[in-house]
A and B are shown apart, each in its own frame.
Chain A
Amino acid sequence: MPLLTIEDVAVELPTPRGNLRAVDRVDLSLEAGRTLGIVGESGCGKTMLSRAVLQLLPKKAKLTGRVMFDGVDLVRLDSERLRQLRGRDLAVVFQDPMTSLNPVLTIGTQLMETIQEHLELDVAAARARSIELLAAVGIPAPEQRLAQYPHQCSGGMRQRIAIAIALSCEPKLLIADEPTTALDVTIQAQILDLLAREQRRRHMAMIIITHDLGVVAGRADEVAVMYAGRVVERAPTPALFKRMHMPYTEALLAAIPKLETAPHTPLPAISGRPPDPTRPLKGCSFAPRCRYAGARCHEAKPELKAAEMPDHLYACFHPIPVTEEVGA
C-alpha cells in the first residue's frame, strides 16, 4: 500500500473576483522511500496541493477529496491528531528559510523544541540529538551553532538548519517546497544532495516541489507536471524525459536555456500567460498557448489517462508522437 494517496483532491479559494480553483481534481500516490517531483510554474497549484496534504490551507479554502497518509484520512482527522502527525511523521521544508525559522529564538531552542515535543526526550538527550542532526546536515561546529540566531547564518546554512528540524523526528514523508529556489546554484546542488542522502539513509518518502525540471531530473523517481491546477502529465522520471507526450511539458523543457546551445539562439518561448484561475476554460487549459491545439482542445477537457505505458499518464488530445526526438 502506498504511504500517501491523494484522491480526487480539489481546493477552492474564494476571492473578490470569484472562486479560484487552485487545485483541480488531482490524484497522486507515493510509496515509502520514493521521491515524487511536482513541477509547474507559479500559480499552477503545486504549493496549494502540498498545503492540502499538510492540512495547512488558508482558513477560507474549501478542500474536497481524500488525503490518505499511512492508512488515515488527513482531511477528516481532528486537529490534535493532526498536530501530532505534523512534525513527527510529516515534515516540511519551505522555500525561504529566513521566514520559516523564528528570528528571535536560537537555532538550538527551535531544534530541541521540536524534538522534545514529539519524541519525549529530556533536555540533555534532545541537545545531543540536535548536535548529531546539525552535523548530519553538514553544519561545521554544531555545538556553537545551537546558541546562534537564524540571522547569523547564511541562506544555505539556514536551509540546512530547516532540513535538520524537519528530519529531527524521523518523518515518514518530507515535503520540500521549492527548497533551493532562494539559493545560489552551487548551494542548490549541495542542498539537493543532502536531501537525497538523508532520504536514502532514512528510507523516507519525499515530495520535491519545484518550477525547474532540471532539479527533479536526476533526483525524483516519478514526476508530475501541473498546469492551471491540474496534473497534466505524470510518469516515471526517465520515461517522462525520454517520451514526453504533453505539449506543455515539452514547451517547459524547451524554454529552459541550455548550456549546449550557441549564444543568441532565440529560445522557444511559450507565448502568452497561464489562464486566469478564477475564469476556468471550457477546454484544455493549455490550449490557448499550445501549438498542437485543435478545435476539440477548446471544447472539452482531456482526461488524465495512460496510453501505451500503464504508468505514463497524460491529459492531451494531441499527444506528441513517441518517435519524435524531444528534449535538448
Chain B
Amino acid sequence: MATLELSIQDEATAEPVRRRRKLGVLFWLASAWLAIILALAILAPLLPLQNPVDMDMLERRAAFSSEHWLGTDGLGRDELARLIFGARVSLTVGLIAPMVGLVFGGALGLLAGYFRGRFETLVVGSMDVLLAFPPLIFALAVTAYLGQSIPNLTVILGVLGIPAFMRVARAATLTLARREFVIAAEALGASHARILFRELLPNVILPLLAFFLLGVAVTIVVEGALSFLGLGVPPPMASWGSMIGEGRDSLDVAPRLAFLPAAGLFLTVLAFNLVGDTMRALTDPRQGAL
C-alpha cells in the first residue's frame, strides 16, 4: 500500500499548530500588585512598622508625616501599619474561605455530576437548603454561639461558598461525562477513581479555579461588609473592611481613613479578577486551535 507509506511521512512531518499569546501589560501590573500585597502581608511582623493597635490619643487623625507615613486613624493608630496588618486578615479570610468552598463544593459537584442518581439528588437538595438559609442570619448565629474570630469567620464564608462551587463543578462534569473520552476510559476498564482524577478533574479544575479567583474577590468584599456590620474580626484587630467601617465616622474630617483601605480592596479585587480571566484564557486548549 504505497499511499499509506506516503501518508505516514506526510502526517509525521506535518508541523502541528503551535500557539503563542501575549499576556498584556495589565496582567503583569495586576500580578505585580498581588505580589507586593502578598509580600507585605506575609512579612508584616518583620517590617519596621509601628504596632497597629498602639493608640496615641494626642495624635488622632494626624496628617501624613515622616513618623506616620499615612497618618493616624481616629484613635491615633498608625494607618500604614493597620493597612498592612489589615491585608493579612483580609487575604487570609479571602483566600482560605473560597478554598474551603473549592475543595468541598468541587468534590461534591464532581461526584454528583459523575455518579448522578440518588446521590446527585441528595447533594443538590442539601445545597438548595443551604442556599435558601439567609447568609447573614447564619453568620450572626455562628458568631453568637462560637464567638467572633478569624477562623470562625473563615469557616462561615467558606461554607456559604460551597453551593456555588458545587454547581460550577457539577455543570462542568455533566457535560464532560458524556464526552467520548470519558466513555473511552470506561471502555478501557478504568476504575471510577481513575476516571474522576485523570479524565474529569483536570478538565473541571479550570472553571473551578477561575471561579475561585472570583470567589477570592467576593469574599474580601463580604468580609469587609461583615466587619463593617460588626460581625467580622474582633477589634482592635484591623481588616480592610473594619477600617472602612471605622473610617465612616470621620468621613467629613478625614476621608482618607475610609478611602485608603477601600482603594486597597478595590485594586486587589480588580487584580484577582484580571489574573483570573487571563489564566482561564491561557489554559483553555480549545482556544489555541485554529
Partners in one complex: yes
Point out residues on A near B: beta carbons under 8 Å: 15-17, 266, 268-273, 288-289
Interface pair A266/B10, CB less than 8 Å apart: no
- Chain B contacts for A273, CB-based, 8 A: 10-11, 14
Stretch at the interface among B1-9, B78-86, B170-178, B257-265: B1-9
- Chain B contacts for A15, CB-based, 8 A: 290
- Chain A contacts for B10, CB-based, 8 A: 271-273, 288-289
Interface pair A17/B7, CB less than 8 Å apart: no
Interface pair B20/A16, CB less than 8 Å apart: yes
- Chain A contacts for B17, CB-based, 8 A: 17
Interface pair B290/A266, CB less than 8 Å apart: no
Shortest distance in angstroms between B9's beta carbon and chain A's nearest beta carbon? 8
| Chain A CB within 8 A of B179 CB | no
In the bound complex, CA of A9 to CA of B17 (Å) = 28
Interface pair B11/A272, CB less than 8 Å apart: yes
Shortest distance in angstroms between A285's beta carbon and chain B's nearest beta carbon? 14
| Chain A CB within 8 A of B118 CB | no
In the bound complex, CA of A203 to CA of B225 (Å) = 71
- Chain A contacts for B7, CB-based, 8 A: 269, 271-272
- Chain B contacts for A289, CB-based, 8 A: 10
| Chain A CB within 8 A of B19 CB | yes
In the bound complex, CA of A272 to CA of B19 (Å) = 23
In the bound complex, CA of A47 to CA of B1 (Å) = 34
Interface size class of B (residues with CB under 8 A): 10 to 19
In the bound complex, CA of A266 to CA of B4 (Å) = 10
Shortest distance in angstroms between B13's beta carbon and chain A's nearest beta carbon? 9
**A to B CB contacts below 8 Å, 28 in the list:** A15-B290, A16-B19, A16-B20, A16-B21, A17-B17, A17-B290, A266-B1, A266-B3, A268-B3, A269-B3, A269-B4, A269-B7, A270-B3, A271-B3, A271-B4, A271-B6, A271-B7, A271-B10, A272-B6, A272-B7, A272-B10, A272-B11, A272-B14, A273-B10, A273-B11, A273-B14, A288-B10, A289-B10
Which applies to chain A's interface (DSSP): helix, strand, loop or mixed?
loop
* Residue among B3, B4, B19 facing the most chain A CB atoms (10 A cut-off): B3
In the bound complex, CA of A268 to CA of B3 (Å) = 7
Point out residues on B near A: beta carbons under 8 Å: 1, 3-4, 6-7, 10-11, 14, 17, 19-21, 290
Which residue of chain B has the shortest Cβ distance to A277 in the bound complex? B290
In the bound complex, CA of A15 to CA of B10 (Å) = 24
Shortest distance in angstroms between B238's beta carbon and chain A's nearest beta carbon? 47
In the bound complex, CA of A266 to CA of B7 (Å) = 14
Q: A266-B3, A271-B10 are in contact. List 20 more A-B contacts (CB 8 A).
A: A15-B290, A16-B19, A16-B20, A16-B21, A17-B290, A266-B1, A268-B3, A269-B3, A269-B7, A270-B3, A271-B4, A271-B7, A272-B6, A272-B7, A272-B11, A272-B14, A273-B10, A273-B11, A273-B14, A288-B10
- Chain A contacts for B14, CB-based, 8 A: 272-273
- Chain B contacts for A266, CB-based, 8 A: 1, 3
In the bound complex, CA of A15 to CA of B58 (Å) = 65
Which residue of chain B has the shortest Cβ distance to A267 in the bound complex? B3
Which 4 residue pairs spanning A and B have beta carbons closest together?
A272-B10, A271-B6, A271-B7, A269-B3
- Chain B contacts for A17, CB-based, 8 A: 17, 290
Shortest distance in angstroms between B83's beta carbon and chain A's nearest beta carbon? 42
Shortest distance in angstroms between A272's beta carbon and chain B's nearest beta carbon? 3
- Chain B contacts for A269, CB-based, 8 A: 3-4, 7
- Chain B contacts for A288, CB-based, 8 A: 10
- Chain B contacts for A268, CB-based, 8 A: 3
Which residue of chain A has the shortest Cβ distance to B18 in the bound complex? A17
In the bound complex, CA of A269 to CA of B1 (Å) = 10
Which residue of chain B has the shortest Cβ distance to A275 in the bound complex? B14
* Residue among B1, B4, B6 facing the most chain A CB atoms (10 A cut-off): B6
- Chain A contacts for B19, CB-based, 8 A: 16
In the bound complex, CA of A271 to CA of B6 (Å) = 6
- Chain A contacts for B11, CB-based, 8 A: 272-273
* Residue among A16, A266, A268, A270 facing the most chain B CB atoms (10 A cut-off): A16
In the bound complex, CA of A3 to CA of B6 (Å) = 44
- Chain A contacts for B6, CB-based, 8 A: 271-272
- Chain A contacts for B3, CB-based, 8 A: 266, 268-271
Shortest distance in angstroms between A324's beta carbon and chain B's nearest beta carbon? 19
Shortest distance in angstroms between A304's beta carbon and chain B's nearest beta carbon? 26
- Chain B contacts for A271, CB-based, 8 A: 3-4, 6-7, 10
Which residue of chain B has the shortest Cβ distance to A266 in the bound complex? B1
In the bound complex, CA of A225 to CA of B19 (Å) = 32
Shortest distance in angstroms between B122's beta carbon and chain A's nearest beta carbon? 30
In the bound complex, CA of A272 to CA of B5 (Å) = 10
Which residue of chain A has the shortest Cβ distance to B1 in the bound complex? A266
* Residue among A269, A270, A272, A273 facing the most chain B CB atoms (10 A cut-off): A272
- Chain B contacts for A272, CB-based, 8 A: 6-7, 10-11, 14
Shortest distance in angstroms between A286's beta carbon and chain B's nearest beta carbon? 13
Shortest distance in angstroms between B151's beta carbon and chain A's nearest beta carbon? 47
Which residue of chain B has the shortest Cβ distance to A20 in the bound complex? B290
In the bound complex, CA of A268 to CA of B6 (Å) = 12
In the bound complex, CA of A273 to CA of B7 (Å) = 8
- Chain A contacts for B20, CB-based, 8 A: 16
In the bound complex, CA of A187 to CA of B21 (Å) = 45
In the bound complex, CA of A17 to CA of B17 (Å) = 9
